[in-house]
Amino acid sequence: MIIMIMTQSMNYLAAHVVMVVRHEETAFWIIAALVETFFVGYYADRLPMFLLDQGIFVRTVEKQLPELAKRMAEFPGGTETFVPLWFLCSYVNSFSTSQSARVWDLLFLGARTHGAIAAPAILIQVSCIFTLFFILSYN
C-alpha cells in the first residue's frame, strides 16, 4: 500500500508544482531538486527516510500527545494511516494551496538554515498540529 501511495504522491507534487510555475520543464527540475534535496530517502527503494520519520512522528505523538495517540490508534491502521498521505504528498492534498504553500515555506526555511536534516522535523511538527485539528473536527 505504501508503494502505491508513494507513486501517487508524486502525482500530487507534480500537479501542485505545475500549477504554481505553469511550465512543465521548470516543474520537472523543481521536483527533481525537491526529491534530491529535501526528501532524500523518501522516494527511494523501501522508503528508508520516510519510514524513519513516520516512526518518529508516531513516537512523538504517543509521548507528547497521549490522548491524541489513543484516538488515532482507534482508526483502522492506527496512527500510521495518516502519515503517508501527509509526508509523501507534502501536505498538498491535506491543505488548501495557500496553506500548503506556508507549510512548504517552513520546510524551505528550516532546510536552508539547518540543512536537509531539519526538513523532516518540521514536517513532523506540522503533522502533530494538523493531526490534532483533524481528530478534533472528526467528532
- The candidate with the shortest Cα–Cα distance to 86, out of 133, 136, 19, is 133
Q: Are 119 and 111 in contact (CB under 8 A)?
A: yes
Residue 80 pLDDT exceeds 70: yes
Report whether 42 contacts 35 (CB < 8 A): yes
Count of structural domains within the chain: 1
CA-to-CA distance for 87 and 71, rounded, in angstroms?
Answer: 20
Contact 86, 123 (CB under 8 A): yes
- Supply the range of the domain harboring residue 97: 2-138
Grade residue 93 by pLDDT with cuts at 50, 70 and 90: confident
Alpha helices in the chain (DSSP H): 2-21, 24-33, 48-64, 66-73, 83-88, 97-114, 118-138
In this prediction, residue 55 carries a pLDDT of: 85
pLDDT of residue 18: 93
Residue 119's pLDDT is 47
In the prediction, which pLDDT does 118 show? 42
Determine the Cα–Cα distance for residues 11 and 5; give it in Å rounded to an integer. 10
pLDDT score of 95 more than 80 = no
User: pLDDT higher for 46 or 137?
Assistant: 46
pLDDT for 29: 95
Average pLDDT taken over every residue of the chain: 76
**How many other C-beta atoms can be found within 10 angstroms of the C-beta atom of residue 64?**
10
pLDDT reading at 23 higher than 90: yes
Residue 51, pLDDT above cutoff 80 = yes
Rounded Cα distance between 118 and 106, Å, is 10
pLDDT of amino acid 120: 55
CA atoms of 11 and 78, how far apart (whole Å): 25
pLDDT reading at 101 higher than 60: yes
